[in-house]
Amino acid sequence: MDTVEWSIERIFRGGGREELNDRVAVESPLEIVVNGVPLVALMRLPGQDRELAVGFCLTEKVISSVDDIRLLKHCGDDEGLSGPGPAAGGEAPEGAGSRVELEVERPGDTGRFAATYLVRTGCGGADLGALQQDVKGAVASRQRFPLETLHGLGEKLARGQEVFRATGGTHGAAVFTAQGEEVAVREDVGRHNALDKAVGACALRRIPLQDKLLFISGRVSYEMALKAVRVGLPCLASLAAPTDLGLRLAREAGLTVVGFADGRRCNVYTHGWRLEG
C-alpha cells in the first residue's frame, strides 16, 4: 500500500470551504541489515525494498558490485534468495516486515552510518568524510546524449510516477538509454531513495550504467551527484536546480549535469561535450 485516504477540509480564497477525502503518500521505515549488523533505517515509500537496499549499498559504497551479494532477503519471505538473480527484485507479500537483509563479501566502511542510523525522508544522511574523497576523473564514460532525447525525458518520468499523480507527494528518478528508452522509473517520498531504487533495479537486472542517463525530479545536490558518480553514471539531468557543491564535485569527477530540463529548455552546468545537437 503506497497511499492512504485522509479526510481534509479544503479552504478557498474568498471563504469557500468543503470537506473531502484526499490521498497521501505512505512514509514508513525500512531497516537495512548487512552481515547481521543493522546498517541504516530509511524513511521511504513502501515498495521495491530490495531495489532500494541494493541501490543504497551501491551508491554509498557499502558494496562495489552486485556480485558482492551472497544473500538478499526481504524480512517476511520464507526463504532467502541466493544471489541477486532475476527474481530478487520481487516484493514480499503484504504484511511482511520492513527489513532487508544482505550477506555480502568485502563490505566497505559501514561504521560511518552508526551516528545517523535513522535517515529522514528529506535527508541523505550526508557522509562528511566523502567531502575529502578524491573523485577526479571518476566518470570515464565517453557516451554522448542527443539533446532532443533529453528534452522528452521529463514527460516520460512523470508517466511513471503513479503515486505522484495521486498525491503530489513523491520524487522521481529514472534511468534512460542515450536513445531515450526507459530502463527503470522509480519514485519515493525521498529523492535519495528514488535514485537508489532506480540504481538497484538496474543492478538486480545486471544492466550497466556507464552508458545511461539518470533523470531526477529534485535538486542536484552534493550527495545526489556523488551517488551518480559512485555507480559510473555519465549524465545526471533534473527538472530542478543544482547546488554549487554538487557542481564542483561533478566538474571534478567528469559528470555531466543538466538542470531545469523541462522539455522547453535546459541549463548545462558541467561537461556539456556529452550533449549533441
Query: Can you give the three-state secondary structure of the chain, one letter per residue?
Result: CCEEEEEEEEECCCCCEEEEEEEEECCEEEEEEECCEEEEEEEECCCCHHHHHHHHHHHCCCCCCHHHEEEEEEECECCCEECCCHHHHCCCCCCCCCEEEEEECCCCCCHHHHHHCEECCCCCCCCHHHHHCCCCCCCCCCCCEEHHHHHCHHHHHHHCCHHHHHHCCCEEEEEECCCCCEEEEEEECCHHHHHHHHHHHHHHCCCCCCCCEEEECCCECHHHHHHHHHCCCCEEEECCCECHHHHHHHHHHCCEEEECCCCCCCEEEECHHHEEC
CA 141, CA 192: separation in Å to the nearest integer? 23
Q: Which residue in the list 57, 123, 202, 235 is annotated as catalytic?
A: 123
Q: For residues 40 and 117, is the Cβ–Cβ distance under 8 A? A: yes
Active site residue 123: yes
Residues taking part in catalysis = 123
